[in-house]
Amino acid sequence: MGKLLVTGASGHVGKLTLQNLLKRKVPANKLAALVRDPSKATDLAALGIAIHQGDYMDPPSLLKAFKGAEKVQLTSTHAFTDRKTAHANVIDAAAKSGIKHIVYMPIARKEHSDFVMKQVTDEDIFTENKVLASGLTYTFLMHPPFLNTLPPFIGMNALDTGIRVPAGDGKTAPATREDLAEAHAAVLSQDGHENKSYILTGDPAVSYADMAAILSKISGKKVPLVTVSDQEYIEIKVASGFPAIAAPFALGWVKGYNRGEWDSVTGDLERLIGHKPTTTEEYFRGVYLKGASK
């Protein structure tokens, strides 16, 4: 097996991917990480993983880092940055430096859907097209919403306030970053995923009413689903500490949930990781009952 390089390794998914590659018995000397700030990757360095300093906006740093790698995972960069240039630079550098296979993680889109997430959909489509035009072997791991970001969206204090979101009864099948990164590690370390797309989903799909029912069940008290306007939702998020720019972004995700944009349950994630992904109920138990006696 050639060398596997993961970008965004100072972040959640990148780091978890590398940790899962080690769990899969890929030797540390076959692994490399690209980070902007190596001080955020001392844990990975201690595991024997080669750390390369580089920035998506600095093509020479990418060329240097990618030298000798066979596969690269392009970890999407943050919203509200120039994601198209950043991703294009990574793809160009991968092609120029002789990397054979690129793994990318767009947010899943429903076929024929006209739903657009600002800062996400357009940039993802651009990146996928750029990968396809690059001639590189690819794997697209289409992501659902992270289960990890769901509690802040519905309220960390939802047990007390109820779930306060705009109206809608669509379902979503979110998955944890941990399960998704396990799938990334499977794809990077195995053959057979060349030029394929997988739609990674949790199981089961849940609506906000289902989430209120889950919270009621696990807490033993009635947690209501309260309908609020879009503006009220934004105000609630800002009051709870979301930066002003992030609150409308969170509303965008909620609207996607409500229209059932991510309601499919494909089984792709379970097949790749070989076990059931964490469910919303299991995840909520860990978050909302932390420190509780039940």
Ligand X SMILES: NC(=O)c1ccc[n+]([C@@H]2O[C@H](COP(=O)([O-])OP(=O)(O)OC[C@H]3O[C@@H](n4cnc5c(N)ncnc54)[C@H](OP(=O)(O)O)[C@@H]3O)[C@@H](O)[C@H]2O)c1
Of 5, 6, 11, 171, which lies in the binding site for ligand X, with binding defined by CB under 6 A? Answer: 11
Region from 10-18, 23-31, 64-72, 157-165 binding ligand X, contact rule CB under 6 A: 10-18
CB of 221 to ligand X, least distance (A): 28
Q: How far is the CB of 54 from ligand X (least distance, A)?
A: 6
Quote the least distance from Cβ 76 to ligand X, whole Å: 3
The residues that bridge with 163 in the sheet, in sequence order, are 225
Kindly report whether the peptide bond that precedes residue 204 is cis, defined as omega within 30 degrees of 0: yes
Considering only residues 255 through 294, tell me which ones interact with ligand X, judged by CB under 6 A. Answer: none
Q: Can residue 145 be called a binding residue for ligand X (CB under 6 A)? A: yes
Among 22, 38, 40, 228, binds ligand X (CB under 6 A): 40
DSSP letter assigned to residue 107: B
Q: How far is the CB of 140 from ligand X (least distance, A)?
A: 14
Residue 219 interacts with ligand X (CB under 6 A)? Answer: no
**Cα–Cα dist 284/265, whole Å:** 19
Residues 156-215 that bind ligand X (CB under 6 A): 177
Q: Are residues 56 and 7 in contact, defined by beta-carbon separation less than 8 angstroms?
A: yes
Tell the residue number behind the tokens 């370390």, with chain if given. 189
Three-state SS at 163: strand
Q: How far is the CB of 265 from ligand X (least distance, A)?
A: 16
Residue 140 sits in the site that holds ligand X (CB under 6 A): no
Question: What is the token pair recorded at 11?
Answer: 């972040």
Structure tokens at 51: 């750390």
153: closest CA among 62, 60, 257?
257
Hey, how many other C-beta atoms are within 10 angstroms of the C-beta on 48? 11
The site for ligand X (CB under 6 A) is made up of 7-8, 10-14, 36-37, 40, 55-57, 75-78, 86, 107, 143, 145-146, 149, 177
